[in-house]
């Protein structure tokens, strides 16, 4: 059965520092992989999506993610974090928009 693991429940980084959020997945076929962000009191917003092609995917707000099939990973990165990036980040796997399974999320705190 498909599943998603986000090993880090909470991460704190300083503003301007780089960020990497980890995501590991288990899926029988070739999955679609997603990263969503959820700010307090708001709905989830799609940051980026991967299915095939270049394994480095660019998203909105300066985020990127790299698909590594050998490691079953899809880690999210940002070179320089802004205070407005503080939020909950969710990795998800699915068959495109169907049967999407979310990880438990990583809460990002940004220190000034």
Partner 1 sequence: EAGVAQSPRYKIIEKRQSVAFWCNPISGHATLYWYQQILGQGPKLLIQFQNNGVVDDSQLPKDRFSAERLKGVDSTLKIQPAKLEDSAVYLCASSLGPSGGELFFGEGSRLTVL
Write out the residues near partner 1 by the rule CB under 8 A.
Answer: 4, 41-46, 49, 90, 92, 96-105
Give CA–CA dist 20/40, Å, rounded: 21
Hunting for tokens 């979310």 — which residue is that?
A: 102
Whole-number minimum distance, CB 66 to partner 1, in Å? 21
Q: Please check whether residue 90 is in contact with residue 47, taking contact to mean a CB–CB distance below 8 angstroms.
A: no
Whole-number minimum distance, CB 16 to partner 1, in Å? 29
Between 49 and 77, name the residue whose CB sits nearer to partner 1.
Answer: 49
Whole-number minimum distance, CB 97 to partner 1, in Å? 5
For residue 4, give every residue at least 6 positions away whose Cβ sits within 8 Å of its Cβ, in sequence order, or none. Answer: 23, 24, 25, 26, 91, 92, 93, 101, 102, 103
């Amino acid at each position: 059965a498909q599943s998603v693991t986000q090993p880090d429940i909470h991460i704190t980084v300083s503003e301007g520092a780089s960020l990497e959020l980890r995501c590991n997945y288990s899926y029988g076929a070739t999955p679609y992989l997603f990263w969503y962000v959820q700010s307090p009191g708001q709905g989830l917003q799609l940051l980026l999506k991967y299915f095939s092609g270049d394994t480095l995917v660019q998203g909105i707000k300066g985020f990127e993610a790299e698909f590594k099939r050998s490691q079953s990973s899809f880690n999210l990165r940002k070179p320089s974090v802004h205070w407005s990036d503080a939020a909950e980040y969710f990795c998800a796997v699915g068959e495109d928009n169907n049967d999407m399974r979310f990880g438990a999320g990583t809460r990002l705190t940004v220190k000034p």
